[in-house]
Chain A
Amino acid sequence: MAKKNQPKAARYNSNHKRSPTSQPDAEKALHQRTYKILDYRLEKPSFALRQIRDGDAVRYDVSGRLSAPVPPIRDSKYLSKQQCVEIYRWMLLNRKMEGALENLYKQGKVVGGVYFGLGQEACSCASAYALKRDEWLGPLIRNQGSLLVRGFSARDVMMQYMAKAGSPTKGRDASSHFGDTDKRNVVAPISTLGDLIPVLAGVALGARLQGKNIAVMTYIGDGGQSTGVTYEGLNFAAVQNLGLVLFVENNLWGYSTPADMQFRVKDLAERAIAYGIPGIIVDGTDACQVYDAAHEACERARRGEGPTLIEAKMMRMKGHAIHDAAEYVPKPLFEYWKKRDPIVRFEDYLVRVQKWLTAAENEKIVAGVDEELETDREFAVASPMPEPESAAGGVYCEDGCHEVKPKYAMPKLGVLKSARRKQSEAAVHLK
Chain B
Amino acid sequence: MPTLTYLEAIRQGIWEEMERDPTVFCIGEDIGIYGGAFKVTDGLIDRFGPERVIDTPIAESAIVGAAFGAALTGMRPVAEFQFMDFIGCAFNQITNMVAKAHYRWGAPAPLVIRGPSGGNVHGGPFHSQNPEMYFVHTPGLKVVCPATAYDAKGLIKAAIRDNNPVIFFEHKYLYRRIKEDVPADDYVVPLGKARIAREGRDLSIITYAAMVHVALEASELLSKQGIEIEVLDLRTLSPLDRIAIAKTVRKTSKVIVLHEDVRTGGIAGEIGAIIHEEAFDALDGPIVRLTALDTPVPFSPPQEEYFLPKVTDVVREARRLMAY
Chain B contacts of A428 at CB under 8 A? 37-39
* A198 and B23 within 8 A (CB): no
| Closest 9 pairs between A and B when the two form their complex, measured CB to CB | A202-B69, A198-B65, A206-B73, A202-B66, A206-B70, A419-B46, A232-B59, A232-B62, A422-B43
A residues contacting B by CB (< 8 A) are 136, 168-169, 172-173, 177-181, 187-188, 190-192, 195, 197-207, 209-210, 228-229, 232-233, 235-236, 239-240, 394-398, 401-402, 404-408, 410-416, 419-426, 428-431
Beyond A235-B59, A404-B74, A430-B127, whether A421 also contacts B11 by CB under 8 A is yes
* B101 part of interface (Cβ distance < 8 Å): yes
A239: contacting residue among B51, B57, B140, CB under 8 A:
B57
Can you name the residue of chain B whose Cβ is closest to the Cβ of A422? B43
Docked pose: A207 CA to B66 CA in angstroms? 12
B43 → chain A, closest Cβ, in Å? 4
Given contacts A229-B92, A406-B23, A419-B43, contact A397 B108 (CB under 8 A): yes
Q: Are B163 and A192 in contact (CB under 8 A)?
A: no
Contact A430 B123 (CB under 8 A): yes
How many angstroms between the C-alpha atoms of A72 and B112 in the bound complex? 52
**B73 and A203 within 8 A (CB):** yes
How distant is the Cα of A109 from the Cα of B19 in the complex, in angstroms? 54
With beta carbons under 8 angstroms apart, the residue of B8, B12, B74 that contacts A405 is B74
Query: What residue in chain B is nearest A168 (Cβ atoms)?
Result: B105
A205 partner, pick from B70, B76, B104, beta carbons under 8 A: B70
Assuming A198-B69, A404-B71, what are 15 further A-B pairs, CB within 8 angstroms?
A178-B105, A202-B65, A205-B69, A205-B70, A206-B73, A232-B57, A407-B72, A412-B22, A415-B47, A419-B47, A421-B12, A425-B176, A426-B42, A428-B37, A429-B38
Report how far A206 CA is from B23 CA in the complex, Å: 9
Using Cβ atoms and an 8 Å threshold, which residues of chain B touch A398?
163-164
Name which residue of chain A comes closest to B124, CB basis.
Answer: A430
Tell me whether A198 and B93 are in contact in the complex, defined as CB-CB below 8 angstroms, given that A235-B57, A398-B163 are known contacts: yes
Residue among A181, A236, A407, A430 facing the most chain B CB atoms (10 A cut-off): A430
Contact A181 to B23, CB < 8 A, known contacts A190-B97, A229-B65, A429-B38: no
Do residues A429 and B75 form an inter-chain contact, with CB atoms below 8 A?
Answer: no
Q: Does B107 contact A (CB under 8 A)?
A: yes
Is the interface on chain B under 10, 10 to 19, 20 to 34, or 35 or more residues? 35 or more
Residues on B with beta carbons closer than 8 Å to the beta carbon of A206: 69-75
**Neighbouring A residues of B73 by C-beta, 8 Å:** 203, 206-207, 210, 406-408
Is B35 among interface residues, defined by CB-CB distance under 8 A? yes
Closest chain B residue to A138, Cβ basis: B69
B275 to chain A, nearest CB (A): 24
- Report Cα–Cα, A430/B119, bound state, in Å: 10
Complex contact A402–B108 (CB within 8 A): yes
Bound-state Cα–Cα, A94 to B72, Å = 27
Chain A residues near B163 (CB-CB < 8 A): 397-398, 402, 404
A236 to B55, CA, bound (A): 10
Cβ-based interface call for B264 (8 A): no
9 inter-chain pairs at a CB distance below 8 angstroms, sorted by A residue, are: A173-B105, A181-B72, A181-B106, A199-B97, A236-B57, A395-B140, A413-B48, A419-B46, A429-B37
Whole-angstrom distance between the Cβ of B126 and the nearest chain A Cβ: 11
B69 touching A187 by the CB < 8 A rule?
yes
A418 to B214, CA, bound (A): 41
Q: Are A203 and B69 within 8 A (Cβ)?
A: yes
Bound state CA distance, A151 and B217, in angstroms?
A: 62
A228 CB to closest chain B CB (Å) equals 7
* B96 and A195 form a contact (CB under 8 A): yes
CB <8 Å contact, B67 and A236: no
Closest residue of chain B to A204 (Cβ to Cβ) is B69
Most B C-beta atoms less than 10 A away, residue of A192, A229, A426: A229
Q: Any chain A CB within 8 A of the CB of B296? A: no
A398 to B165, CA, bound (A): 12
The answer to whether A424 touches B164 (Cβ under 8 A) is no
With both beta carbons as reference points, the residue of chain B lying nearest to A402 in the complex is identified as: B108
Q: How far is the CA of A430 from the CA of B121 in the complex (A)?
A: 6
User: Is the beta-carbon distance between A202 and B67 smaller than 8 angstroms?
Assistant: yes
Which of A229, A394, A419 is B61 in contact with, Cβ under 8 Å? A229
Please give me the residue from chain B that is nearest to A212 by CB atom: B73
CB-based nearest A residue for B162: A397
Is the pair B47, A416 in contact by a Cβ cutoff of 8 Å?
Answer: yes
From B49, B65, B176, contact of A416 by CB (8 A): B49
Quick one: closest A residue to B65, CB to CB? A198
C-alpha gap A222/B205 in the complex (Å): 54
Chain A: minimal CB distance from B190 (Å) = 12
Residues in B with CB closer than 8 Å to A413 are 22, 48-49, 51-52
Which residues of chain B come closer than 8 Å to A190, judged between CB atoms? 96-97, 100
Residue in A closest to B22 when the chains form the complex, CB atoms:
A411
